[in-house]
Structure formats: C-alpha cells, structure tokens
Amino acid sequence: MSLKFGTSGLRGLSTDLNGPAAAIYATAFARYLISSGQAKPGDPILLGRDFRASSPDISAICAGALTRAGLTVLDCGTVPTPALALYGLEIGAAALMVTGSHIPADRNGIKFYRPDGEIAKIDEEAIGAEARALMGQSAPIDAVPGMAADHSQQAEALFLARNTAILPANALAGLKVGVYQHSTVARDLFVEVLTHYGADVVPLGRSDDFIPVDTEAVSPATIDLLKAWALEHKLDAIVSADGDGDRPLVSDETGLPLRGDLLGLIAAQFTGATIAVTPVTSNSGLERQHGLSIVRTRVGSPFVIAGMLDAVRNGQSGVIGFEANGGTLTATSFTINGTPLRALPTRDSFLPVLAVLSCAARSGEPLSALATGFALPVALSDRIENFPMETSAALMARLRSGMDNLSTFLAPIGTPKAISDIDGLRVTLTDGSIIHFRPSGNAPEMRCYVEAETAGQAERLLEQGLECIRTFGRQPG
C-alpha cells in the first residue's frame, strides 16, 4: 500500500485507497478512539467526502468499517472539511473526511478528527500502528447500506450560520464577486454566504468532473481563466477553494491571485489576533507587521495546531494560525463586529475570504491596492509534479550534505548566505532573496518557494530554482 500521512491526513493513489485500505484505516481510527477513551461503542462519528469520482466508494467502505467497529455513522455528505469539523466540535463527535484536497484526481485521502478537533502527529502514529496490525487480516469492504443517518443538512446549516454572522448586514454590497465553483464542495455555500452579505455574485466554471486546484501554487491555466473572467464580467474579486473547501483562493480585480499568507495576515488583523502561528514557507515580511507576533512551524496543519495550542497553554489570547495556502485556523474565540466567533482549529477558507472582501468593501480600494499596501516581499511558489519521492529525498540529502554541494547546486542562481532547515531547506542568498526547496509531504512533487524585491526577480528566481530541480531529476542514478 503506497499510502502515507502527509501535511494533512492520509494520502495516496485512489486505486490503493479504494478497497481494503480504506476499511483498514477506518477500523484503525475507530479502535484508536475507543482504546484511548475518546469514544465508546455506539458513539456517533461523522463522515464527509469531496466530489472526486472515487470518494463515494471510499466513503461507503469507511462507513461499513466504522459500523463494524462499533460506532454510529452520521453521513454528512459533500460538505467542506471545516463544516464537518465544526459540526463534530458542536456534538462532540469524531469525524472522517474522504478527500485528496488539492492533489490530482487519480489520488485521494482521508482526514481524521477527534471529538475535540483535528488529529496531531502522535495520533497519526497510533492510527498507523493500529492499521499495520490489521494489514494481515482480511478486511470486509462492503458498504453496509442504510446504516448511516443523513446529517448533511445539520452540518451545512451550522457552518452557514457561523459564516452569515461574521459581518454586518449588506457588508459586501457594491462588490461584484465571481465564485469559481469548479468541483469544490464549498461552491454553493460561497454563493449563498456572499449573496447574504449583498454582494453581486457571478458563479463561474462549475464542473461535474473533479478539477484539482492548488491554492498555494495556482496553475497558469487557472490564472488565465481568472483573468479572462475578471475582464469579461468586470469583477472586483474572484473567490474559490480547493476540493474540500479548507484552502481559499482569492484573486484581485485583474484575476491575479493573492498570496495565501497575505489572506491569513488580513484574517489575523480582521479578528484582532495578537499571535499568528504559520509555517516557515509563509512570507518573511510577516514579522514586520505591527502588533502581531509570528511563530514559525514546519509545514502542515498538525504543526500549526501544535504551535497554537502551545500559545494557548502559555496563557496567550487572540491566537490564530494560517498557512501559505491561505487555510486559516483559530485556536481561541474572537468577537467580530459584536458577534462571538467560536474557535475552529482546522483550516477554513471562509474566514479569510470574508475578511479580505470586508476590508475591500470598507476601504473602497481595489484588492490589488489593498495587497500592495502591506509591502510584503514578492513571494512565489510552484511545484514539479510526478517527481519521484526517492528523487526528492536524494536531492535533499545532497543539499544538506555540506556547503560545497549546496553552493554547487545553487551556482546558476546565487551564493548562499544563511540556511534554515525547519522544513525542507530555506536559503537566504547574498542579495537578500530567498529560495526554499521542499518535497511535498503527501504527493510525488517537489516544491520551490522564492522571495525577492521585485516581481521580475521573483519570477526569474523561481524558474531558475525549478530548472535546477529538473536538472537534478534528469541525472542518472
């Protein structure tokens, strides 16, 4: 089984997951919950899924396995992951979300939630151990039809109530906003929420086939679509999300996507947060923002959540987290416009979208000007897909093996001045620019992140970095 836990949940090829593997991991999760005292036989467990072709079958297999393990499955259907997590917190139930998030359609995964929120790395290890113990056994994979009660309306209604109370009435009146619907489970809720606040909403690009949208490395083809729609419909913004609706995508009035870490920063300021926990891949200019302390972590929501919980345990209030993909988490409750906002310590795409659009509506500025006003270094990222994981591991071993090897690898780009090895290898060059190499945690991809003073410099640096990766990948052995 080529399945592994990555930055957020279990991931792998759909063909590997759709069968005994789904039953094994669902059973392992149920056994872990019961053995650790987080659930008892008969307790409810929520089940959601995205729109991938393989998700209904995998979800059905999980439902059968969870039922056999002694839990009561509540089917929440195709809802955003943050909606599933919120409903779990509300009723004190664990949850599984069948989704591959932003990765290609031939892959899928499962995200796991304890009754008190998203699992941590220690939980992943325990679930993995339970799964390995089950792998020698024959796991039934029939779906046990009719066993799961439909709770999709309850989960959706709770999430809708949360997001229609954040802003004042008609807070987005005067804005014309496109919603790139593609195949995200957030597509109809975005239209409903934005319409509720008075925005003129234009649904765009709805698809019956699954389209992977990576909000951290938006593809050129997606950007071309956004630019064409922005021009055709004279839009103030376009919003969207990845497959399971926990990572936001927001483009400005020209169709150019805003960086995810900028969305998180705006959400932090919007909520009045005083501490923001974010991975090392987020923009280095965050530390220069007044009134907000930045805590850096490895990439992945479990590490961000761990950092947020550390801050809460240390007595801090106003704690938020966000990733370079824009997914925003809250570790403490906030009061926004006089309305309490419950802590939701899992990635959410709706809070940052509403924060950014609210700021634009209040200021009267176009989103491009709003973004420029933060004066962050120009940051870009991209990935090389279908880059074998063993090749990524060999590349990282080479770069970490000594300054001579690193300098030789970077010779076409520049001279290294400082190095951070928190997650991947982040190198500050002598001209002050930054290049960061990091293998994906859940797919055969190699990622490259750069920062520079100007857009032209950042674009050149990114292309040079990607070419260095490609050159290494073409080497024999």
Residues annotated catalytic, as ranges: 101
- Residues 330, 345: contact at Cβ < 8 Å? yes
Residues 6+ apart with CB under 8 A from 392: 439, 440, 444, 446
* Both structure tokens of 383: 């990935």
| Residue 246, φ and ψ in degrees, nearest 5 | -110, -5
The secondary structure element, H or E, covering residue 76 is strand 72-77
Closest CA to 472 of 390, 417, 404: 390
Kindly report the CA angle at 327 between 241 and 453, in degrees rounded to 5? Answer: 100
Distance from C-alpha of 151 to C-alpha of 90, rounded to nearest angstrom: 13
Q: What is the DSSP string of 198-265?
A: T-EEEEE---SS-----SSS--HHHHHHHHHHHHHHT-SEEEEE-TTS-SEEEE-TTSPBPPHHHHHH
Q: Is 11 helix (H, G, I), strand (E, B) or coil?
A: strand
173: amino acid identity, one letter: A
φ, ψ of residue 429 to 5 degrees: the values are -90, 165
Token match 């892959």: residue?
107
Task: Pull the structure tokens for residue 242.
Answer: 């990845």
308 CB neighbour count, 10 Å cutoff: 25
Answer whether 52's CB lies under 8 Å from 105's CB: yes
Please state, in angstroms and rounded to a whole number, the distance separating the CA atoms of residues 63 and 149: 11
| Encoded tokens for 124 | 């992943």
The sign of the torsion formed by the CA atoms of 278, 279, 285, 288 equals positive
> How many angstroms separate the CA atoms of 309 and 120, rounded?
11
